[in-house]
Structure 1
């Protein structure tokens, strides 16, 4: 077809009406040149509104482009008198900034630390390069959080990793109706129990998870049962292990905490005792989130018989608690009040730090420490090993723990 014979708008209109069911398309590589020739031939800028509409429909019919795209190209012609391609594709594609080695290194980092959030993983890689001088992380230290997730979605990363499922927490509203009010002071802890599964009608061990509201300083301990005889010594152990003075104790709806014996213990220590309110799931949300992010991530869901509570408790005291408090970065919220008086929490990357770093950043931090404990002593614990070395030691100890439990179960079978 020689479409150049169409010289008037009337001829184009007849053409459009007579070829309604006929597929006529200009090759894609000729679109820009064809559109420019047609616009020049018909003197598009001098046409009436009706004539311009006919020409636009003709261009859409012949090129197959959308109305919006044809309009953009015509507008480009009106400005420069030409319809030219303004973009180009690199001859050999875009250059890859992060190579196969970086992806494998990211997978190893996530394996060590249990697949933290993107910002937390980026912070760990920054610390590895800037603080601990690990040059392998030079490129990854500058990766964006969004592209970090792109690498995680790739086949190479997926071939190197296996993921654990997240927890599915439940809650039962009961107890006194007041949330803790730390007012920027450490020492107000939230506490919750995590059960390590049932098997053949036998209960597993129970993990007691305590988290400070202000610094997110976290301690995990394990006991055989959650009756008073087993639970009270563990609660006393947790209260003693926090480096700062405990001022508040908040539980949700478990009867293991809402009883007279626990109340008497807290009253003796002059610790404020609060309980979650109904229909206020955020009252104990901090420790609930740590149940999944820390306890379940490192100890899983598999049944652990109660007779191994001592071994698991030693693992938590010697490896899990130091790693979580001195080497695992956390988000810390910034509360912003809008013009309507509504408070919103912002989680900024620059505010991410470890619980110990958060404790040090508080004004007059030394005033909150227990007698005999200094920041220098805690600094020595934090600098004893790097984040990656602490994660490696944690993973090795956890593997040895579960292997010893499995061997003991085989021998008794």
Structure 2
């Protein structure tokens, strides 16, 4: 049977039902098959066919052309628009335009490598600041990146091509009447700090050093220090130095029940400066939640969990004072919550995190009304802002990363020989 003589729908139906056999094989090339599809559509006057006959003819074309249903539909649509039935290569006409180039993805990967991958809202603030404050032309497009699309770019292959336990504290001595058991009440006043200790691991009988992490409740101004042990002869000088690193007057000091804080020496030091001393209440895990959260996202991300000898405490403390603390307060954005009425629970408030509330601790301090009256003598907001703008965010992040990698490399070279094998070293790193 000659296919060109198939001109009636009854013949098409008989061929599909198998009543008649048809020895017909269209050409193998896509172009010739498209021409055959056009000839059949013209032969049966497809434009004037009824709906049922159109479906019958399309089934006939699918069987003998080898095209998929979607591609055949596109071909028929082009024929209806009087266009040639050729294979259209490249992106479709209605495809989304690409906004961010490979260079933008490389720049984004570089920034996240230096910062250690912040949350989406915090990272987009860094990108915006790099262009608006420091006029870095590499961020001209990235300054408009949204947090949601940032996560999309992180999953892309181009980005990946360019591109890381809280310690159990000791309870206070029985019957010790030191510090009031209550949560601090800052009332939007900077100077109420929460403090906690982070242990840097042990290896056999060797105890590692400790990091002391203090965070202001209102501005999230953070000061990290390092001590070889939690003994009072080591803690008191470091605590005094930490309090002096805050630019504002300290009004409150809140800790958990660890004896490194709950003792008469620390209480006397705070009383001398008229600083309110409070500690966490039993079964109220949120009393010191801010410091615990910063332990994970800052201290552990910077120093990890592996064992670091106590003899390295002085070097780590100098690193924190000279590089890490200025970076955290001048260049690392933080999320600040805003309380709004809860529509589901009238009369109650719920906390939300808005994009405009993402800022560095210094910017948060500067946004407070009458912030200057909380500052220490000899410290002004203009001096702090000038110091922050003396270095870009990316430069500060890179300087901290390079100094940290050099310091941790020296620690690894010193501590690796004490491990009997690679497995004991791996267990120590993840303990």
TM-score, normalization by structure 1: 0.75
Q: Secondary structure at the match of 2:335?
A: coil
2:341 corresponds in structure 1 to: 337
1:316 corresponds in structure 2 to: 320
1:374-404 CA-partner distances (Å, limit 9, x unpaired): 2222122212211111111111221222233
The number of aligned residues is 354
Counterparts of 2:417 and 2:352, CA distance in 1: 53
1:169 aligns with 2:166: yes
Aligned-pair distance for 1:278? Answer: 3.1
1:64-102 CA-partner distances (Å, limit 9, x unpaired): xxxxxxxxxxxxxxxxxxxx9xxxx82485432212222
The answer on whether the counterparts of 1:174 and 1:275 sit within 8 Å (CA) in structure 2 is no
Query: Mapping of 1:10-29 within 5 angstroms?
Result: none
Q: 138, 158, 161: which is aligned to 2:160?
A: 158
Q: Which 5+ residue runs of structure 1 have no aligned equivalent?
A: 6-28, 42-83
Q: 121, 124, 130: which is aligned to 1:122?
A: 124
TM-score, normalization by structure 2: 0.72
1:286 corresponds in structure 2 to: 290
Sort the Cα spacing of 1:170 and 1:406 in 2 relative to 1 into closer, same or farther, 3 A. closer
The answer on whether the counterparts of 2:215 and 2:223 sit within 8 Å (CA) in structure 1 is yes
Sort the Cα spacing of 1:174 and 1:203 in 2 relative to 1 into closer, same or farther, 3 A. closer
Query: Mapping of 1:149-298 within 5 angstroms?
Result: 149-161=151-163, 164=164, 168-169=165-166, 177-298=181-302
Aligned-pair distance for 1:200? Answer: 2.3
Q: Which 5+ residue runs of structure 2 have no aligned equivalent?
A: 1-6, 11-36, 38-45, 54-80, 82-90, 173-179, 420-431
Q: Secondary structure at the match of 1:215?
A: coil
Q: Secondary structure at the match of 1:232?
A: helix
Aligned-pair distance for 1:227? Answer: 1.8
Sort the Cα spacing of 1:143 and 1:263 in 2 relative to 1 into closer, same or farther, 3 A. same
1:395 corresponds in structure 2 to: 401
Aligned-pair distance for 1:258? Answer: 2.0
Query: Mapping of 1:301-380 within 5 angstroms?
Result: 301-338=305-342, 340-380=346-386
1:26 corresponds in structure 2 to: none
Q: Secondary structure at the match of 1:282?
A: helix
Counterparts of 1:174 and 1:310, CA distance in 2: 27
Aligned-pair distance for 1:143? Answer: 1.5
Counterparts of 1:243 and 1:350, CA distance in 2: 24
Counterparts of 2:332 and 2:352, CA distance in 1: 20
1:347-367 CA-partner distances (Å, limit 9, x unpaired): 111111110111111111111
2:58 corresponds in structure 1 to: none
1:76 corresponds in structure 2 to: none
Aligned-pair distance for 1:406? Answer: 4.0
Aligned-pair distance for 1:198? Answer: 0.9
Q: 138, 141, 144: which is aligned to 2:140?
A: 138
Q: CA RMSD in A?
A: 3.8
